[in-house]
Amino acid sequence: MRINLIKEEKKKITFDFFGVALLLSVLIPIMMIGIIQYSLISESKYLQSQINNIESRLEYYLPLEEEFKEYEEVVKELKETPTVPNYNWDGPIEALGYITPLRGVIDNFSLQQGSLNIRGRTIVGEELREFRQSLIESPYFSNVNLNTLEKQEVVSFIITADLVEGGE
């Protein structure tokens, strides 16, 4: 029988600090780069969707802006036109807006020596009768007369009315 006098070495678990540090120093920057890359790609997609949304809104609003500028020019021209002295136009213009035929259009209205000439057209003759009656009942107009009536596919008309003094 043989006796081994050499002490048996027990294997210890050794912790390799250098290897772990080396592994972490490589893995952490790679993970950080991945996370940053993912966040940049996500942000890029979000910003691109925002840009597309804004561009679609611009396609809608740019024509409206042009129309608004045209109306501003019309308002500016109207403000520059001479008016009847001491006459408030808000009431008569607002009244015309409410009583204009639904399927009708006022093509032109002009003022000559206190008499308002309204030229327009409508699809339904009954609406013209209601329009004339509404003008007669309005406190802003008097002596309402239907001067011309042409009936074809549409009913064309010219109505004259005197403006009531003082605007009301």
Please give the model's pTM, rounded to 2 decimal places: 0.42
In a domain, 159, yes or no: yes
Domain end position, chosen among 39, 65, 81:
81
pLDDT, residue 93, reads 67
Domains contained in the chain, number: 2
**Assigned token pair, 166:** 């003082």
Shared domain check, 103 and 77: no
Domain end position, chosen among 81, 97, 130:
81
pLDDT tens figures, 120-139:
888 777 777 887 888 888 77
Q: Which residue has the tokens 């000439």?
A: 117
Residue 9 has pLDDT above 70, yes or no: no
**Assigned token pair, 147:** 């001067």
pLDDT, residue 49, reads 96
Shared domain check, 145 and 99: yes
In a domain, 168, yes or no: no
Shared domain check, 72 and 25: yes
In a domain, 27, yes or no: yes
Phi, psi of 9 (to 5 degrees): -85, 130
CA distance 100 to 33: 69
In a domain, 2, yes or no: no
Shared domain check, 143 and 104: yes
* Residue 134 structural domain: 89-163
CA distance 120 to 147: 12
Specify the CATH number for the domain of residue 147: 3.30.1360.100
Better-predicted residue by pLDDT, 153 or 25: 25
pLDDT tens figures, 36-55:
999 999 999 999 999 999 99
